[in-house]
Structure 1
Amino acid sequence: MIAVLGPVVAHSYRPEARINVTTYREFSDLEFLQLQEDLRVRLRRESVAGMPEFNMVSAATYFEIHQDGEPVILVDNSAGRLLVIAFGE
């Protein structure tokens, strides 16, 4: 899953206002926490490497990633499926 979400986050310069919605099988609580942590680590590394700064807001069943106050991605694991909404391309 990190392989799918990583490129979305890394290339988040989004001049157009499109929304892409993808669903996956529901993750266990442990898998979802691991996904959040993996992305948090990746965002920190890219921020250090000169990428624009990303902010992550997370809760038990969802997280959001923003860049410069604009939403980049929303991941929700609460509806029996893992829902990924990517804003932009």
Structure 2
Amino acid sequence: MAKSILFNIVAEFLTRIGSHVVREVSSLWNLESDLESLAGTLSTIQAILLDAEKKKAQDYQLHDWLGKLKDVILDTKDVLEEFEFQAPMRVV
């Protein structure tokens, strides 16, 4: 089964969270534990998405929930991109 777009976006988040720039900035701002917590949450979301994608065709409530989750994930992606853009400028 092909993985969903949401699954792939979450995987991209996990990669970005592990990037050198994000790690350095989070260290300077004492956000390491928050970053680790976020990575754990994103990993759990990935697992749930795999199950939900299989079941959404028969469950309208789940289909609705996945749509709302997609909106949240895309908003989160925008915030992460802004953080990656702004953070190096604030370190200097």
Range class of TM-score, shorter chain: 0.3 to 0.5
* TM-score after normalising by structure 1: 0.33
Give the structure with the higher percent strand. Answer: 1
Q: Given the two structures, how large is their TM-score scaled by the length of structure 2?
A: 0.33
